Structure 1
Amino acid sequence: MRAQFSDFQKPGMVSVWVGDFRTEGDLDDYLNGKFESDFGFALYERAVEEIGVEPEPVSVEQLVAPFSRSQTFASGVVQAAHSVGRTSASAMFIIYFFAFDPSRVHVHPQAQLSFVGAVPFSGFA
């Protein structure tokens, strides 16, 4: 199944993926390439997105901390990540105003990023 980006747009929510990329360039290449086929929707160039990459895995708490408005959603991300068995990663990708629902698309089981959840956030009025 394929979905449109707009199918998941939702004010006050941020969707979060984690993985083990070691450079921003490698993560960018993936996002501009295989991400669409792995997660069943195309990224929208005007979406509010952020990435974070560390050279080695760190705790999810450390990885999420530098993101904009993270103080409003970090605890939700950590809880969501732990609930899917992710306590550390070297890369994080987030989309603001977005509530991805993996049950509405086919997610490739070997995707290089893991969706950890969509959690509430505040800011960016």
Structure 2
Amino acid sequence: MEKANKVSVWVGKFTDDDDLTDYIENAYDENGDSFNQFRDDTGIDWFDDGFREADMLQPDLSLRENLVGFSWIDSFADVLILQLEAMRSADDNGLILLYNFQYENAESVRPASRVRFVGTFDFQT
């Protein structure tokens, strides 16, 4: 659900940038209704694409170095890194962030989902 100054984060495994983009980009059916695999996997009905960021994690960089470039990252990097270090598997190589969004349905992530919910964090603009 939309919530100012909150960012919800997911981590997952993707083959490359194109695979990650295909996972999060909207497609449209014959009626003009939008859908994407990320929304299906997480049970999210809708979010504003303008507040979504995603990127691949480079294995030769530290988590902190990988986070450079995400909006307002300095305000929540420390807590995000702690959470990622506690739960991230070696295969997890992609991050998805939804800004001004508080995910409240962590239990609705499909068991076969390509992503796992990391958490919702406060951020400062």
What TM bracket, shorter-length normalisation?
0.7 to 0.9
Q: C-alpha displacement at 1:62, in angstroms?
A: 3.1
Flag structure 2 segments of 5+ consecutive residues without an equivalent: 26-35
Moved more, 55-64 or 27-36: 55-64
SS of alignment partner, residue 65 of structure 2: helix
Aligned to 2:7: 14
SS of alignment partner, residue 96 of structure 2: strand
Poorly superposed stretches of 4+, deviation over 6 Å = none
TM-score (norm. length: structure 1): 0.76
Q: Which amino acid aligns with 1:18?
A: V
Higher relative contact order (CA 8 A, sep 6+): 2
SS of alignment partner, residue 122 of structure 1: coil
Aligned 1:41-80 pairs, distance under 5 A: 41-54=44-57, 56=59, 59-80=62-83
2:41·2:109 contact (CA, 8 Å) conserved in 1?
yes
SS of alignment partner, residue 108 of structure 2: coil
- As a proportion of its length, which structure holds more strand? 1
| Number of aligned residues | 114
| CA–CA distance in structure 2, aligned partners of residues 34 and 44 of structure 1 | 13
TM-score (norm. length: structure 2): 0.76
SS of alignment partner, residue 79 of structure 2: helix
1:57·1:90 contact (CA, 8 Å) conserved in 2?
no
SS of alignment partner, residue 93 of structure 2: strand
1:60·1:87 contact (CA, 8 Å) conserved in 2?
no
RMSD: 2.3
